[in-house]
Amino acid sequence: MPIGKDYRLTIGAGREALPPADDREGATSADLSPEPAVVFEALKLTPGADEIIKEIPGLGDFVNWFPTAYFSVCRKTGTAYYLDLWNADHFDGFTDMAKCLAECRVWFAGDGFTTWGSDQTKTGRVNCYFVAPTAGHYICTAALQSYPTSSGAQVECLIDNSSFGPLPFTGTIYQPHPCDLSAGGHHFRIRQMSGSFFFLSLTVWKV
């Protein structure tokens, strides 16, 4: 198809020689599929957990949590249907597409990297669509990692259109989100608010 009539060919000027930057630091290794016991410990450390555990007694019986759906960049299991990634960042040699698939993670950049063309938008989005086989209580655990791990990031997690509120974190977290779901399809969403982070996985259990 022809280009727009208002576009005019010009000669670009690139006269500033930019030396290569230092080697790009790799991502820190992390468990992509946390065990229920690890998730339950994270749950207990979250403010408000005591009240939720009293309301949903099955949360304390993590041995009997039933695996429902699992999402990562390179694998989906159970009733996981769609993993949609919006405004992810592929930084060559660090988070290029091949590396993301090999390491089963995806990166959402924050500030910096303008030398390489980043516009620092911080508009990353993750959408995990799964089916709840029956109505009841579920726990959706988001595995995330800030980058660098010593720096903080903040996201908002939602189940369908119900927000869990801002989630600030540093390093690797396995953050559980208790949900009361009807039978059928649901969206667990993660929205970047600030900082740089990796999406590692989402694991859904019936409790």
Q: What is the pLDDT of residues 55-88, one digit of tens each?
A: 888 888 989 999 999 999 999 999 999 999 998 8
197, 183, 190: which is closest to 163 by C-alpha?
A: 190
| pLDDT 10s digits, 88-147 | 877 776 777 888 888 888 989 866 565 666 566 778 999 999 999 999 989 999 999 998
- 44 SS3 class: helix
Residue type, 181: L
Half-sphere exposure of 91 (CA within 13 A, CB side): 24
Residue 106 neighbours by CB under 8 Å, 6+ apart: 73, 85, 88, 95, 100, 198, 199
| Prediction pTM value | 0.83
Q: Which residues pair with 69 in a beta bridge?
A: 78, 204
Q: Which residues pair with 78 in a beta bridge?
A: 69
Q: How is domain 36-206 classified at the CATH fold level?
A: Jelly Rolls (2.60.120)
